[in-house]
């Protein structure tokens, strides 16, 4: 992610990390990205970890719908 930010101009705070496990969501959190959690990994929910995901959805399609709803409208 940092390579993408430094070399490709990706704006990490305006980017999303979508994942179904704690490793990718932790990486996204550390990079300052918005998070979308897919599925029901017990480590992400009521356990001690907690990702603070802005979107939690049972499927990728539903997560994308929610992310689109969060996005500002472009002129």
| pTM (predicted TM-score) | 0.77
Do the Cβ atoms of 49 and 30 come closer than 8 Å? no
Q: What residue segments make up the domains of the chain, in order of their start?
A: 2-61
- 3-state SS string for the chain: CHHHHHHHCCCHHHCEEEECCHHHHHHHHHHCCEEEEECCCCCCCCCCCCCCCCEEECCHHHHHHHHHHHCCCCC
21-73 residue pLDDT tens: 888 899 999 999 999 999 876 555 544 456 689 999 999 999 999 999 987 76
Please list, in sequence order, all residues whose beta carbon lies within 8 angstroms of the beta carbon of residue 16, skipping any fewer than 6 positions away: 28, 33, 34, 35, 36, 67
- Residue-level pLDDT at 1: 85
């Amino acid at each position: 992610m940092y390579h993408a930010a430094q070399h490709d101009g990706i704006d990490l705070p305006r980017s999303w990390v979508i994942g179904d496990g704690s490793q990718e969501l932790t990486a996204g959190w550390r990079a300052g990205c918005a998070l979308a959690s897919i599925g029901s990994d017990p480590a992400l929910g009521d356990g001690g970890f907690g990702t603070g995901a802005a979107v939690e959805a049972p499927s990728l399609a539903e997560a994308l719908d929610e992310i689109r709803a969060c996005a500002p409208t472009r002129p």
